[in-house]
C-alpha cells in the first residue's frame, strides 16, 4: 500500500487578555487553535490507513485549547481534537481548588476493518442474513457469486460520554460521582456453521449501550474513616440473536439445515452498594470492616430452541428464559 499525504496547517495563538480598567488582577488565559487542509492519495488497502481514525480530505481542525482562571478563583479549561471528524474528542473541566471539581469528556472512536468486502447476504446490519436468490446453488458456482455479491463496509463506532463531580462539603466530608455512557453501533466479523459439514463467514450486528454509575461519600475525622458507595452498570443490547441462510442448501435435512443461528450477548444489569468503616489504632495499625451487596441479572431474554432445523425433532427446554 502506498500513501501520499499533503497537510497544510495554520496555527493561531491568542494571548492573555489586557488588565481591566479597575486595576484588579487580570484573569490568566492560554488559548490556541490548529487548523489545516489535508489531501491524501492512497493505493491498496485504504482501510488500514484509517483503522481507528478519520483522515478524510479537506478542511479540518486538529486541535483547540482554551484555558482561563477567573478573578474569583475558578480554573476553566476546554480542549477539542479532530473537530467535525469521526474520531473527534472534547474535554472540559471546571475547578475551584479545595471546594469543587467537575469534568466532562465526549470521545468518538471509529473502527474500519474493511471497505472492500463482498457478501451474498442481504441485511448485513440486522440480525437476519438472507440469500436473496440462488440459495443452494452456490457451492463452487463462481459466476453466481460474482453476479450476486454486493460490497459493504465492515466497520463500527463507539461514542463515549464521561462526566463527574467532586464536592468537598466540609473539610471532613467529600461527595463524588462519575457517569460513563458508551454507545456502539456497526458490524463485526462472525463465523457460522451448518451442522458439521459446512461453514460460512458472516457479519454480526453491533447495537448496544453500556451505562456505568459510581457514586460515593467519604467522611474522615481522626481516628475514624467512613465511606459509602453506590455502583450501577446497565448493558442494553438491541440484537441478541443472529440467523443466516445456508448458501449451499435450500431445504432442511437431518444432517444439514438450510439456516444457521447463534446467540449474541443478552441485556443485563448490575446494582450494588458498599460501605467501609476504619479506625486508627495504636502502634501504626488500623481496624477496618467492609461490606457490599449487589444484584446481577439478565433482562429475561428467551432461550433459543434446541434447533431451527425442521427435519430434526425439537428437544423440550427446562425453562423458557435464561433467568440468570
Q: Which residues neighbour 254 within 8 Å (Cβ) at sequence distance 6 or greater? A: 309, 311, 312
Give the pLDDT of residue 4. 58
Q: What is the pLDDT of residues 217-243, one digit of tens each?
A: 999 999 999 999 999 999 999 999 999
Residue by residue, DSSP assigns 275-308 as EEEEEEETTTEEEEEEEEEEEEEE--PBPPPS--
pLDDT of residue 21: 41
Q: State the pLDDT at residue 11.
A: 45
Sketch the domain layout of the chain as residue ranges.
1-86, 98-324
Phi-psi region of 23 (alpha: psi -120 to 50; beta: other; left: phi over 0): left
pLDDT tens track for 251-306: 988 888 888 888 899 999 999 999 999 999 998 899 999 999 999 999 888 888 88
Q: Which residue has the higher pLDDT, 9 or 48?
A: 48
In a 13 Å sphere around the CA of 304, the CA atoms on its Cβ side amount to 15
Please tell me the least confidently modeled range out of 143-157, 170-184, 204-218.
143-157
* Percent of the chain residues topping a pLDDT of 70: 89
- Report whether 84 contacts 90 (CB < 8 A): no
- Indicate the range of 69-78, 179-188, 307-316 predicted with least confidence: 307-316
In this prediction the pTM is 0.85
Residue 13 has pLDDT above 60, yes or no: no
Could you give the C-alpha distances from 78 to 62, 66, 91, in angstroms and in order?
A: 14, 5, 6
Worst-scoring range by mean pLDDT, 4-13, 16-25, 90-99, 242-251?
Answer: 16-25
**Confidence grade of residue 3 (pLDDT, cut at 50, 70, 90):** low
Q: What was the pLDDT predicted at 315?
A: 84
Please tell me the predicted confidence (pLDDT) of residue 155.
95
Residues 100-116 pLDDT 10s: 999 999 999 999 999 98
Q: How far apart are CA 118 and CA 147, in angstroms?
A: 11
Average pLDDT over residues 188-195: 80
pLDDT bucket at 22, cuts 50 / 70 / 90: very low
* Residue 308 confidence (pLDDT): 85
Amino acid at each position: 500500500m502506498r500513501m501520499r499525504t499533503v497537510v497544510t496547517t495554520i496555527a493561531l495563538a491568542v494571548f492573555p487578555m489586557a488588565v481591566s480598567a479597575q486595576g484588579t488582577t487580570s484573569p490568566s488565559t492560554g488559548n490556541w487553535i490548529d487548523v489545516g487542509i489535508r489531501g491524501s492519495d492512497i493505493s491498496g488497502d485504504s482501510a488500514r490507513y484509517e483503522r481507528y481514525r478519520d483522515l478524510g480530505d479537506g478542511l479540518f481542525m486538529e486541535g483547540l485549547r482554551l484555558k482561563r482562571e477567573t478573578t474569583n478563583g475558578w480554573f476553566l479549561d476546554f480542549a477539542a481534537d479532530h473537530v467535525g471528524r469521526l474520531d473527534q474528542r472534547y474535554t472540559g473541566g471546571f475547578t475551584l481548588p479545595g471546594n469543587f471539581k467537575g469534568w466532562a469528556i465526549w470521545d468518538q472512536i471509529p473502527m474500519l476493518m474493511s471497505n472492500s468486502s463482498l457478501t451474498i447476504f442481504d441485511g448485513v446490519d440486522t440480525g437476519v442474513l438472507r440469500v436473496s436468490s440462488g440459495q443452494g446453488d452456490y457451492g463452487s458456482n463462481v459466476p453466481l457469486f460474482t453476479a450476486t455479491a454486493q460490497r459493504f463496509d465492515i466497520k463500527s463506532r463507539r461514542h463515549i460520554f464521561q462526566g463527574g463531580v467532586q464536592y468537598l462539603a466540609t473539610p471532613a466530608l467529600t461527595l463524588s460521582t462519575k457517569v460513563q455512557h458508551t454507545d456502539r453501533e456497526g458490524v463485526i466479523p462472525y463465523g457460522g456453521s451448518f451442522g458439521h459439514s459446512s461453514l460460512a463467514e458472516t457479519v454480526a450486528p453491533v447495537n448496544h449501550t453500556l451505562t456505568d454509575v459510581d457514586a460515593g461519600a467519604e467522611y474522615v475525622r481522626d481516628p475514624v474513616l467512613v465511606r459509602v458507595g453506590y455502583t450501577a452498570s446497565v448493558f442494553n443490547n438491541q440484537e441478541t440473536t443472529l440467523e443466516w441462510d445456508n448458501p449451499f442448501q435450500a431445504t432442511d435435512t437431518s444432517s444439514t439445515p438450510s439456516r444457521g443461528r447463534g446467540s449474541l450477548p443478552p441485556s443485563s444489569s448490575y446494582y450494588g452498594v458498599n460501605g467501609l468503616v476504619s479506625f486508627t489504632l495504636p502502634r501504626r495499625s488500623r481496624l477496618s470492616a467492609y461490606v457490599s451487596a449487589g444484584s446481577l441479572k439478565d433482562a429475561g431474554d428467551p432461550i433459543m430452541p434446541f434447533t431451527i432445523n425442521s427435519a430434526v425433532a425439537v428437544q423440550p427446554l427446562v425453562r423458557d428464559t435464561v433467568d440468570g
